[in-house]
Chains A and B, each alone.
Chain A
Amino acid sequence: MSADWPLWEVFVRARRGISHVHAGSVHAPDPEIALQNARDLFTRRSEGVSLWVVRSSDITASSGDDRAALFDPAEDKTFRHPNDFELPDAVSHM
Chain B
Amino acid sequence: MAPTPLLTFILRQGDRSLVLAQRLLEYITHAPEIEEDMALSNIALDLIGQARVLYSYAGEFEGLGHDEDHFAFQRDADEFLSPVLVERPNEDFAHVIVRQFLHDAYAVPHWTHLAESSDATLAALGAKAAKEAAYHLRHSSAWVVRLGDGTEESHRRVTVALEHLWPCTEELFEVDEIDAELFSAGVSPDPSAIRTSWDTTVDRVLTEATLPRPEPPVPAVTGGLSGLHEDDFERLITVMQELARTHPGAEW
Residue numbers of A with Cβ under 8 A of B are 5, 26-29, 32-33, 36-37, 40-41, 44
Give CA–CA (A44, B42) in the complex, Å.
Answer: 9
Q: What 7 new A-B contacts, CB under 8 Å, besides A27-B35, A36-B39?
A: A5-B33, A29-B146, A33-B146, A36-B142, A40-B39, A41-B38, A44-B42
* Cross-interface CB contact of B35 among A28, A32, A44, cutoff 8 Å: A28
B195 within 8 A of A: no
Interface residues in B121-149 (C-beta closer than 8 Å to A)? 138-139, 142, 146
- Tell me how far the C-beta of B47 lies from the nearest C-beta in chain A, rounded to whole angstroms: 15
- Tell me how far the C-beta of B40 lies from the nearest C-beta in chain A, rounded to whole angstroms: 10
Q: Could you jot down 22 A-B contacts, CB within 8 Å?
A: A26-B35, A27-B33, A28-B35, A29-B146, A32-B142, A33-B35, A33-B142, A33-B146, A36-B39, A36-B138, A36-B139, A36-B142, A37-B35, A37-B38, A37-B39, A40-B35, A40-B38, A40-B39, A40-B42, A41-B35, A41-B38, A44-B42
Contacts of A37 in B (CB 8 A): 35, 38-39
Give CA–CA (A28, B35) in the complex, Å.
Answer: 8
Interface residues in B17-65 (C-beta closer than 8 Å to A)? 33, 35, 38-39, 42
Q: Would you call the interface of chain B mostly helix, strand, loop, or mixed?
A: helix
Q: Residues of B within 8 Å of A, CB-based: how many?
A: 9
| Closest 8 pairs between A and B when the two form their complex, measured CB to CB | A37-B35, A40-B38, A32-B142, A40-B42, A40-B39, A36-B139, A33-B142, A44-B42
- Tell me how far the C-beta of A31 lies from the nearest C-beta in chain B, rounded to whole angstroms: 11
Contacts of B33 in A (CB 8 A): 5, 27
Contacts of B139 in A (CB 8 A): 36
Closest to B34 in A: A27
Contacts of B35 in A (CB 8 A): 26-28, 33, 37, 40-41
Closest to B45 in A: A44
Contacts of B42 in A (CB 8 A): 40, 44
- Tell me how far the C-beta of B28 lies from the nearest C-beta in chain A, rounded to whole angstroms: 13
**Chain B, 141-164, contact with A by CB distance < 8 Å: what is the 0/1 string?**
010001000000000000000000
- Tell me how far the C-beta of B146 lies from the nearest C-beta in chain A, rounded to whole angstroms: 7
Give CA–CA (A27, B33) in the complex, Å.
Answer: 9
- Tell me how far the C-beta of B152 lies from the nearest C-beta in chain A, rounded to whole angstroms: 14
Closest to A37 in B: B35
Give CA–CA (A37, B42) in the complex, Å.
Answer: 11
Give CA–CA (A28, B139) in the complex, Å.
Answer: 13
Give CA–CA (A32, B38) in the complex, Å.
Answer: 16
Give CA–CA (A26, B39) in the complex, Å.
Answer: 13
Give CA–CA (A56, B33) in the complex, Å.
Answer: 19
Closest to A39 in B: B135
